[in-house]
Amino acid sequence: MRVYLDNAATTPLDPEVMKEMCKVMENTYGNPSSIHSHGREARTLIERSRKTVANLLGTSPSEIFFTSSGTEADNTAIRCGIIDHGIKHAISSRIEHHAVIHTLEALEKAGVIKLSFVNLDKKGNIDYEHLETLLKENERSFVSIMHANNEIGTLSDIERIGDLCEVYNAIYHCDTVQTMGHYKHDLSKLKAHFVVCSAHKLHGPKGVGFLHINHRIKIKPFIYGGAQERNMRGGTENIYGIVGLAKSLEMAYAEMDEHKQHIQGLKTYMINQLKESIPGVEFNGEIDADKSLYTVLNVSFPEMEMADMLLFNLDIAGISASGGSACSSGSDIGSHVLTAIGASASRPSVRFSFSKNTTKDEIDYTVSKIRELCMVNA
C-alpha cells in the first residue's frame, strides 16, 4: 500500500483542475499583453480567474495579484510593506515559515528594521498580551503572524490580531498559505492588509499563488518589468496556472464543509488510535478542532532506538510523511518550529497531513506500521 500523508507539503492536482489547465495549454497560447484576439483570449482567462478568486473571498478583483508562489507573495508583502511605508519595527513569531522569517531577518541584517518575536506557549499559541505590549512600545510596526502553522497546525486568532493592529495603526500581513481553500476567508471583514495563497496546497498547480493587497494600503512593485498585474508584477503570466488556481479555489469552496468534516474525522480517529496503541505518545501543537488546522497532525513519539530512522522506515512501508525533531543544543539541524515551542529533541516527531483523498484504510495501515516500528525499536 502507498499512502500519501504529506499534504501540507503539497497536494495532488485535482483531475478537474488538470482538465481546465489542459484546455488552456491546448488552446490558448496568446500573450495576455498582446492586443490582438489571441492575446485578448488569454487576458480574458486571467481576468475571469481573478474575478472568481475575488468573489469567493469577498473582495474586489483589483485587490488580487497573481504571483509565482506563496513565497513570492510573502516576500512582496513583507519587503514592500516595510520599505515603502518606512517601517522600522517588525513583529513576527519564531514559528513562521522560512518565506517569512528569512525575509524579515534579511531586512533586519540590512539595518532596515528591528525585529521582535512575540512570545509563544508550548503549543505554539501567540501571547496576545505580549503582542499588544510590543505594538504599544514601538512606533508603527509591521506584524507578520501566520494563520495556521504548517508543521504543528496551531491556529492564530486573526480577528484578534487584526483588531490589535488596527488600534496601534500597524500593518498586518498574515501568511494564510495553509488555510486558503480550507477555511472560508471573508476579506471584506478581515483586517489584514496582506494575505497570501499558494495553489498547490489546495489541489491546484505548483508555481502559482496570489497576494491580496487590501485597498487600505498601497505598495510599489516587488518585481519590475512589464505592465502585467496592473503594473504591480512584471513577467508574462502563468495563464494555465492562474486558471488552475481559480478552479482549485472554486472547488475547495464548493466542497469545503464536506471535506472539513471528512478530514477532521480522520484526524480525530488517528489521534485516538495512536493514544490507544502507542504508550507515551504526545502531540506537538494544538489538537482541539477549534484551535488546530484540521489537515495537520504532528505526533511526538516516545524516545526510541533508531529514532532518526522512523521517517525512513515509514517510507519503506510506503507511507510518505514529513518530520524533523527539535534541534538539540549546539545544533541548528532540525525543525525551527519544534525548537521554538520547546519540544524535546530526543523524541522523534512526524507530521502527518491529510487531504480530501485520505481514507480510513490508509490511517489504519499507517497506525499499524507505526505500532510495529515502535515495538521493534522500543
Selecting among 22, 174, 197, 327, the annotated active-site residue is 327
The span from the CA of 141 to the CA of 116, in Å, is 10
Angle, CA of 91, 94 and 96, to the nearest 5° = 85
By CB under 6 A, residue 116 contacts ligand PLP? no
The span from the CA of 3 to the CA of 197, in Å, is 26
Active site residue 327: yes
b/e 50-62 (16+ beta carbons within 10 angstroms → b): bebbbebbebbee
Q: What is the DSSP code string of 121-184?
A: -TT--B-HHHHHHHHHHSSSEEEE--SB-TTT-BBP-HHHHHHHHHHTT-EEEE--TTTBTTB-
Segment interacting with ligand PLP (CB under 6 A) among 174-182, 213-221, 237-245, 293-301 = 174-182
CB of 211 to ligand PLP, least distance (A): 11
Phi then psi dihedrals of residue 169, to 5 deg:
55, 35
Determine the size of the site formed for ligand PLP (CB under 6 A): 13
Contact 40, 26 (CB under 8 A): no
CB of 294 to ligand PLP, least distance (A): 15
By CB under 6 A, residue 178 contacts ligand PLP? yes
Radius of gyration of the chain (CA): 21
CB of 198 to ligand PLP, least distance (A): 3
Phi then psi dihedrals of residue 13, to 5 deg:
-65, 130
By CB under 6 A, residue 175 contacts ligand PLP? yes
Considering beta carbons, is residue 293 or 374 the nearer one to ligand PLP?
293
By CB under 6 A, residue 43 contacts ligand PLP? no
By CB under 6 A, residue 76 contacts ligand PLP? no
Considering beta carbons, is residue 74 or 362 the nearer one to ligand PLP?
74
Residue span 186-225 as binding mask against ligand PLP, x where in contact by CB under 6 A, dash where not: ------------x----------x----------------
By CB under 6 A, residue 339 contacts ligand PLP? no
CB of 134 to ligand PLP, least distance (A): 22
Helix (H, G, I), strand (E, B) or coil at 213: strand
CB of 371 to ligand PLP, least distance (A): 29
Considering beta carbons, is residue 148 or 278 the nearer one to ligand PLP?
148
Residue 261 CA from chain centroid, whole number: 20
The span from the CA of 287 to the CA of 154, in Å, is 8
By CB under 6 A, residue 70 contacts ligand PLP? yes
CB of 6 to ligand PLP, least distance (A): 11
Considering beta carbons, is residue 79 or 97 the nearer one to ligand PLP?
97
Q: What residue is closest to ligand PLP based on CB?
A: 70
By CB under 6 A, residue 99 contacts ligand PLP? yes
Give the start-end residues of each E strand in 193-346: 194-198, 209-213, 282-284, 296-300, 319-320, 322-323
Neighbours of 293 (CB within 10 A): 24
Residue found by looking up cell 518585481 in the block: 223
By CB under 6 A, residue 335 contacts ligand PLP? no
Rule CB under 6 A: choose which of 28, 49, 59, 69 binds ligand PLP: 69
Residues recognised as catalytic: 327
Residues that bind ligand PLP (CB under 6 A): 69-71, 74, 97, 99, 146, 150, 175, 177-178, 198, 209
